[in-house]
Amino acid sequence: MAQKKLLTNGTASKCNDGRWHGTVWYLDEAGERKRSAFSGVSKKDVEKKMKEYTEHFYDDQIQSDELRCPLQKSMQRWLEVFKMPSIERTTYDRYECTAWNQIYPALGAKLVEDITAADIKSLLNQMMNDGYAYTTVKKVHNLLNEYYKSLTERELIRRNPMTAAPMMKKANFLAAQDKENLPTCETVTVFTDEELDKFKAEAFTLYGNGEQKYMQASAFTLLLNTGLRTGELLGLLNSDVDLDNRVIHVQRGVKEVYRRDGAEIDSGREVKVGKLKSATSKRDVPLNDTAIEAIKDLRREFYFGEDTPLVCDQNGVYTRPVNFRKRYYKILKNAGIEQKGLHSFRHTFASRLVNGVKQPDGSLLCLSPKQVADLLGHSTSEITEMYYVKRDNTRLVGITDGFAF
C-alpha cells in the first residue's frame, strides 16, 4: 500500500461572503487525489490552520512506521539522534554496550508494537536468574525506561510498557539470588594491611639485572596516598604538581572511548582527555611524604617535560587506562590477592582517614567525613560515608566498659 503524500501546502482565497477558505491537496494511501478544506474569518486564521495540518500530516504515518520497526533499529536510531549529542562519550559507550549485549539479543528482533511489559519483565527476570548483578540489570531497566519515555513524549507509541514493568527492589532481587542484602558501606572493598604488604612487595619487584618488573609501580602508591580516581591520576601533567607547597592540582581526567566514524564504531579504542566527573572534582589534593617520594620515583622512571603526563608511557604520552588496569590486575594475581577494582585504593584511603590510625601514644588520628569528602572531590560527606568508608567496628571493643546503668 502506498503512503500518504502532500501535494500542496495549501492556498487561501476570499469568498463572496467575506470569509476566507483554504484547500490542501494530497494523495491518500490508495494513491487517489484528495483535499482537506479550511475556513476562517481572516486569511491569517486559515493559513494558521493549514500550517498546523501540514505540520502534523505525517504524524500517524511516522507513528505507524515506528511501531512496525524492530526494537534494535528503533533504539539504535534513538541513541544516535537523541543521546549521542547530549551525553558524555563514555556514558554513550556504556548505553550502547548495554543495548548490544543485554537488550538486542533478547528483544532486538521484535517489532516495537509487539513488545509488552511481560516481555521486558521476562528479560529482567532472566538476567536475575542468570546471576547478573543488580546494578547491571538496573542499567538495562534504566535504558529501556529512557527509550520508551522518549517514544511516549514524541507521541510515537500509544502506551508505555515500562509503566507495568517496574524494577524489582534490591532486597527482593538479592533474596531471589539467595544473596544477603548488606548495607552499602559493608560492600565497600578495601585493602587489608597484609594485602598492601603483598601488593607492594610484588609491585616493586626487580629482575636480576635491576630492572623494574612493572612500569609505573609508584603510581599505585600515589593512588593509595591521595585518593585520586584512576582517570584523575592519568590526567595529571607534571605542571599540576607543586612539590614546594606539597600539593597537586586536579584539573582534568583521562577516559577511554570507542573510536568512531560518526556514530559507527570503528576498530579499537582511544584516550580522551577532558573534564572531570563533577564540578567538585576540580580540587587541590595535599601530598604526604610517601606521595612526594612516589612522584619523584615516577619522574625518575619517565620525564618528558612539564607539559607531559606525570604517569606517561615510554613515548611521553598519556597512559591508556586499559593498560594501567591490566598491570594492576597482574600484580594482584601474582601477589595472590583476591581481585578487586582499582577504586579499592580510593576506598582504602577514605576508610583509613575516617576510621583513624592509632598513634604510638594510643590516641587515634582521624579526619571528619566532611574533610575526606573535600579531599575526594565529593559534593557531600554522605556520599563519602555511604559509598567509600568501610566501618571499622573493632574500635567499639570495650568502648562501654566505663559505663554502668
What is the per-residue pLDDT across 313-370, written as a single tens digit (0 to 9) for each?
999 999 999 999 999 999 999 999 999 999 999 999 999 999 888 888 878 888 999 9
User: Which residues, 6+ apart, have CB-to-CB distance to 3 below 8 Å?
Assistant: 29, 61
Confidence (pTM):
0.76
Q: What does the pLDDT read at residue 1? A: 47
Domains, in order of start, for the chain: 5-57 (3.30.160.40), 67-176 (1.10.150.130), 193-350 (1.10.443.10)
Q: For 196-210, what is each residue's pLDDT tens digit? A: 999 999 999 999 898
User: Which residues, 6+ apart, have CB-to-CB distance to 262 below 8 Å?
Assistant: none
Using only C-alpha atoms, the chain has a radius of gyration, in whole angstroms, of: 30
Q: Which three cell numbers stand for residue 362?
A: 594510643
389 and 351 Cβ atoms separated by less than 8 Å: yes
* Burial annotation 204-213 (CB, 10 A radius, 16+ → b, else e): beeeeeeeee
Would you write out the chain's pLDDT as a tens digit for each of its 405 residues? 456 777 888 888 888 888 899 898 888 777 788 888 889 889 999 899 888 888 777 665 555 677 888 999 999 999 998 999 899 889 999 999 999 999 999 999 999 989 999 999 999 999 999 999 999 999 999 999 999 999 988 888 878 999 999 999 999 999 999 998 887 767 789 999 999 999 999 999 999 898 999 999 999 999 999 999 999 999 999 999 999 999 999 999 999 998 888 778 887 888 889 888 888 899 999 999 999 999 999 999 999 999 999 999 999 999 999 999 999 999 999 999 999 999 999 999 999 999 888 888 878 888 999 999 999 999 999 988 888 888 776 666 666 777 777
* Angle CA 276–87–73, to nearest 5: 150
348 and 190 Cβ atoms separated by less than 8 Å: yes
